[in-house]
Amino acid sequence: MALAALAGRLPPPRVAHHVRVRDPDSGEALDDAIALWFPGPRNLTGEDLAELHLHGSRAVLAAVMAALGRRGLRLAEPGEFTRRAFLNGKLDLVQAEAVADLAAAETEAQRRQAVRQLAGHLGALYRGWGDRLLRLLAHLEAAIDFPDEDLPPEIESRVAAETASLAAEIERHLTDGHRGERLRDGIAVAILGPPNAGKSSLLNQLARREAAITSPVAGTTRDVIEVALDLAGYPVVLADTAGLRDSTDAVEQEGLRRALKRADEAELRLFVFDAACPGDARAAAAWPGSDTLIVANKIDLVGRSAALPHGAIAVSALTGEGIADLVRTLGSRIAERYDIAAPVLTQARHREALEIAVAALQRSFDAGLAELRAEDLRLAWRSLGRITGRVDVDDLLDVIFAEFCLGK
Ligand code: GDP
């Protein structure tokens, strides 16, 4: 065993131990270190694991790595520890994905969601559905195999009823407004309003105050400027859109069309207008509801006593006045929607598999023959099983673990 060869002997299990690391071939001392020994199978990966806490200089690492290399050891691939944990049944695939999400989490909300997923609730939900399907399948197959035996005649109708309620449950989970996926990828907030209202200034003000997340934003387009922010612990992708104004210019019309589309697709909107022109706020009526905040900008020019539309948040993108209030209100609107307690869908991969399962369950209602119905249930079960890695997922593993970083 490599650890014993380098440290002289195996330290006691699971206890940090001070050791002198030596080159096993020459006997030369390489470093003074802490060694930890986690014998399998009751550990992270299920296999024997050792940790050496070295003085991290390049020379120490090179010498120790060379000594280990001579004993046939190599560096782990990205995600290899988690992959082994999955293959050894220590984690399901949904938990393995949570490890990658946790390592990549940039905001509090993303961290919380990944920790919840790692705890296994989401995987348990999917496995629970799979188990129910398996029971239904067993009943249906019993009815097929022993048509003349004393099986209760209503068995097929009960299977159908339970299939319907399972399909409805999965559908409810699917129509959650993509909350978990949004939390993972960033909640879209659009800034819109008439030209010169101060939309770009507001975006800059918010981006400067809040720590900008550095990860690239997918789908950034030239006509819509986006910044990723950590806003009150939530990952937000803030988009500045072209000004809303009637125009006959074709390019401007296209910009306007995109701005409106972006505003419609966003989870939340900041409608910004110049506090000196309160009539401009009327255009916000196109987006009624609590997911649009009305922001009266340039309050430094008109003063706090100016007449503003009801509920408008007064700010100055120039001086920063009122911005803290705006961030607080926006944060609480986001918290109302995304403070997620129940396990929610977090990945497009899971969504796809669930959609296949629901489609198969629904097909089963139209299948005339019990054998065909059973085949549909089997298909649905396999699709659910692929989410947690219960059924063959060899084709998926490289894709999933490619997203990991080294050492995980
Ligand atoms: P946009 O067209 O809506 O993106 O507006 P801009 O952010 O480009 O701002 C238009 C003009 O208003 C610029 O000259 C800004 O400096 C100015 N401006 C923006 N916000 C404020 C503000 O809060 N107070 C004052 N006094 N001027 C502002």
- 211-243 confidence digits (pLDDT tens): 555 444 443 334 567 888 888 788 899 888 767
Hey, what amino acid is at 339? D
The atom of ligand 1 lying closest to the CA of 195 is 2
Asked if residue 385 has its Cβ within 6 Å of ligand 1, the reply is no
Task: Tell me the DSSP string of 146-185.
Answer: -TTSS--TTHHHHHHHHHHHHHHHHHHHHTSTTHHHHHHH
Q: Considering only CA atoms, which of 317, 321, 327, 320 is closest in space to residue 234?
A: 327
Q: pLDDT of 96-134, one tens digit each?
A: 999 999 999 988 888 999 999 999 989 999 999 999 999
Q: pLDDT of 48-102, one tens digit each?
A: 999 999 998 999 999 999 999 999 999 998 899 999 999 999 999 999 999 999 9
The atom of ligand 1 lying closest to the CA of 194 is 3
The atom of ligand 1 lying closest to the CA of 299 is 23
Hey, what amino acid is at 153? P
Asked if residue 301 has its Cβ within 6 Å of ligand 1, the reply is yes
What whole-number distance in Å separates Cα of residue 331 and Cα of residue 339? 11
Question: What is the structure's pLDDT at 261?
Answer: 85
Task: Tell me the DSSP string of 96-110.
Answer: HHHHHHHHH--SHHH
Inter-axis angle of helices 108-119 and 93-104, nearest 10: 160
Q: How far is the centre of ligand 1, averaged over its atoms, from the C-alpha of 317 (Å)?
A: 7
What whole-number distance in Å separates Cα of residue 7 and Cα of residue 30? 10
Asked if residue 383 has its Cβ within 6 Å of ligand 1, the reply is no
Look at the block and give the residue holding tokens 């400027």. 225
Asked if residue 69 has its Cβ within 6 Å of ligand 1, the reply is no
Q: pLDDT of 350-395, one tens digit each?
A: 999 999 999 999 999 888 788 899 999 999 999 999 999 988 778 7
Q: How far is the centre of ligand 1, averaged over its atoms, from the C-alpha of 296 (Å)?
A: 12
Q: Two tokens at 399?
A: 């894709």
Asked if residue 243 has its Cβ within 6 Å of ligand 1, the reply is yes
Sign of the Cα pseudo-torsion (142, 148, 153, 157, in order): positive
Q: Two tokens at 315?
A: 């700010």
What whole-number distance in Å separates Cα of residue 299 and Cα of residue 274? 8
Task: Tell me the DSSP string of 269-322.
Answer: EEEEEETT-GGGGGGGGGS-STTEEEEEE-HHHH-TTS---TTPEE--TTT-TT
What whole-number distance in Å separates Cα of residue 138 and Cα of residue 65? 54
The atom of ligand 1 lying closest to the CA of 272 is 3
Q: pLDDT of 5-44, one tens digit each?
A: 999 999 999 999 999 999 999 999 999 999 999 999 999 9
Question: What is the structure's pLDDT at 183?
Answer: 87
Question: What is the structure's pLDDT at 225?
Answer: 77
- Closest-CA residue, ligand 1 atom 15, reads 198
Question: What is the structure's pLDDT at 400?
Answer: 80
Question: What is the structure's pLDDT at 220?
Answer: 38
- Closest-CA residue, ligand 1 atom 6, reads 198
**Residues contacting residue 357 through CB under 8 Å, at least 6 positions apart:** 129, 170, 379, 380, 381, 383, 384
Asked if residue 197 has its Cβ within 6 Å of ligand 1, the reply is yes
Asked if residue 241 has its Cβ within 6 Å of ligand 1, the reply is no
Asked if residue 192 has its Cβ within 6 Å of ligand 1, the reply is no
The atom of ligand 1 lying closest to the CA of 315 is 23
Asked if residue 198 has its Cβ within 6 Å of ligand 1, the reply is yes
- Closest-CA residue, ligand 1 atom 14, reads 196
Question: What is the structure's pLDDT at 259?
Answer: 80
Q: How far is the centre of ligand 1, averaged over its atoms, from the C-alpha of 155 (Å)?
A: 70
Task: Tell me the DSSP string of 82-100.
Answer: HHHHHHTTSS-HHHHHHHH
**Residues contacting residue 107 through CB under 8 Å, at least 6 positions apart:** 213, 230, 233, 234, 235
Asked if residue 194 has its Cβ within 6 Å of ligand 1, the reply is no
Question: What is the structure's pLDDT at 47?
Answer: 96
What whole-number distance in Å separates Cα of residue 35 and Cα of residue 16? 6
254: β partners? none
The backbone torsions φ and ψ at residue 30, rounded to the nearest 5 degrees and listed phi first, read -105, -35
- Closest-CA residue, ligand 1 atom 11, reads 196
Beta carbons of 4 and 48 less than 8 angstroms apart: no
Question: What is the structure's pLDDT at 293?
Answer: 95
Q: How far is the centre of ligand 1, averaged over its atoms, from the C-alpha of 363 (Å)?
A: 56
CA-based end-to-end distance of the chain: 22
